[in-house]
Each structure stands twice: as structure tokens, then as C-alpha cells.
Homo-oligomer: A and B are copies of this chain.
């Protein structure tokens, strides 16, 4: 049995003993597992934020990795604990939408309801399934227990409605700010793959509230030429971001999560393309 990586993603913060209790449970049952924190600073109970983070990071881990994700407002209710096998990555956590973006990307994923209590801690609280159910299941997976041992396959995992960008009748593309990162960059749901070819051949602007953003930078550093001015950039998540050189866009322009954005390109623009 080779060493297995177990990643941890929670909204538990880092000031309590919660995350360490999970790690203690795992290392007791699977001493050679390698533990890697994704983050424990997901906003409390924000399943969608966690789904975004998980989707963006898991492909950088080796296949066979086990991803333990515990954002679990329904702990103690009848929401199911689940195990997902998707593209040779394993995911363990509550069935509350956390895995929506993974399931969208890997339609062939197999999902199981964790019903075999033999793999749980013997005494289970109704408040901390991360420690009592998900951590020991992850440890058992790391020790080579096959997925089918944990419970029956299911076909109806919980999913939230994905906020997608939309092509509008006038040819513009409507999206939203779906993530604000540590630097204050505002990540939209406009996909680079789809839009960069368009932006490279047409004039365009992105309307966000009263702002019209016309510059597409190839790197953050290009934005340094016009300090204080927002620009677009294709970020590391493959999504269009709004940035300001050496500054927090979110703070400077007071942009919020969920803020609508609208991308106009030249041949469809109904407004004059003045400079910002």
C-alpha cells in the first residue's frame, strides 16, 4: 500500500481543536497518510464557496488522493454522508451540494451513501461528523478499504444550481462575481477559454455597476502601467478576474460577491466606447 494523501477542507477556522481532532483520528487509523490542508477559512456554512475551492484545487493533487470536505450545516439531520469516486479522486463529506462542481465536471462519478457504521468512530456525536464519521472513513480509504464496503450506490446527490454566465439577446454576456480572493481580486464566472478568442479580436468592455473596464492585461504586472485602474485578467482558475495593480479591487471599488457583470463587445455594443 503506497502512501495516500488526504486533503482537508472545512469552515472550522484554525483557532479551535476541531481540525486537529480530525487529524488525530486519521493518523490513529492510518499512520502513514499525508495530510494537506486546503483551507479551514471557508465562510461558516458557505457550501458554494467550498465547492468552488474544491473544484479549483483537487486536480493538482495526484490521482488516488482522498479529499475530506466538511462544511456541514445539516450535521445531525438526515442529510446523508457520502463518498464520491470521480476521475480517480475520492471525496468524502456531507451530501449537501459540496460536490456539485466535481459532479458536473465528472458525469461518470460514482456516489455512495456511507451507511456502514463499522468505519465510523464507535461513539458518534450529533454535532461533529467531521471527526466521528468523515475522518475515520477517509482513514479507512487510505488504508485500502474499497469504496463498495462503505455503503450502497446512490444516484441523487444534492446539487445547488450553478451560477453560469449567459449569452444575452443583444450579444452581451452576463455573469457574476463568484469569488473574491485574498488579494481582493474579483473572480467572475466568465470563462477564459470561451471568451479570450472573442476579446482578442474585438473591442469590448466589462460593465460592473458604474464602471466600464476595457483593459485586458496579460499579467498583473501589466496593470502597473495604470495604477489604481481596474483591468481584466485571465486568472489562475481559468476565469476572468477584475484586478487593480497592487491593491484590493474589492475594497477600492466596493465590489461584492454575487455582483452582476456584463461583457459587451464592439459589434453589439449599444453604448459609446468611451474610456473608463
- A residues in contact (CB < 8 Å) with B: 2-3, 5, 7, 12-18, 20-21, 23-25, 27-28, 31-32, 34-42, 44-45, 53, 56-58, 60-62, 65, 73-77, 125-128, 131, 181-183, 218-222, 233-236, 246
A3 to B34, CA, bound (A): 13
Chain B residues within 8 Å of A125, by CB:
234-236
| Chain B, Cβ-Cβ closest to A217 | B76
Complex contact A73–B220 (CB within 8 A):
yes
- Max chain B C-beta neighbours (<10 A), residue from A38, A42, A235: A38
* Interface SS of chain A: loop
Q: Which residue of B lies closest to A121 (CB)?
A: B60
Judging by beta carbons under 8 Å apart, are B15 and A39 in contact?
yes
Q: How far is the CB of A267 from chain B (nearest CB, A)?
A: 28
Contacts of A31 in B (CB 8 A): 2-3, 34, 62
Report the separation of the CA atoms of residues A28 and B183 in the bound assembly, to the nearest whole angstrom: 27
Partner of A236 from B3, B5, B131, B181 at Cβ < 8 Å? B131
Query: Min CB distance, A248 to chain B, in Å?
Result: 8
Copies of this protein, total: 3
Give min CB distance, A43 to chain B, whole Å: 9
How near does chain B come to A46, taking the closest CB pair, in angstroms? 11
Q: A27-B5, A222-B76 are in contact. Are A17 and B39 (CB under 8 A)?
A: yes
State in angstroms the CA–CA spacing of A263 and B142 once bound together. Answer: 45
Query: Whole-angstrom distance between the alpha carbons of A128 and B221 in the complex?
Result: 12
- Other-chain residue from B65, B131, B219 in contact with A127 (beta carbon distance below 8 A): B219
Most chain B beta-carbon contacts within 10 A, residue among A25, A27, A41, A233: A27
Residues B3 and A20 in contact, CB atoms below 8 Å apart = no
> A32: which B residues are within 8 A, CB to CB?
3
Q: A131-B236, A220-B76 are in contact. Are A61 and B182 (CB under 8 A)?
A: no
Q: With A and B bound together, what is the CA distance between A45 and B222 in angstroms?
A: 15
| A38 partner, pick from B20, B28, B131, beta carbons under 8 A | B20
Q: Is B219 within 8 A of A76, CB to CB?
A: yes
B45 close to A36 (CB less than 8 A): no
Query: Which of B14, B182, B220 is within 8 Å of A75, CB to CB?
Result: B220
Residues A18 and B220 in contact, CB atoms below 8 Å apart: no
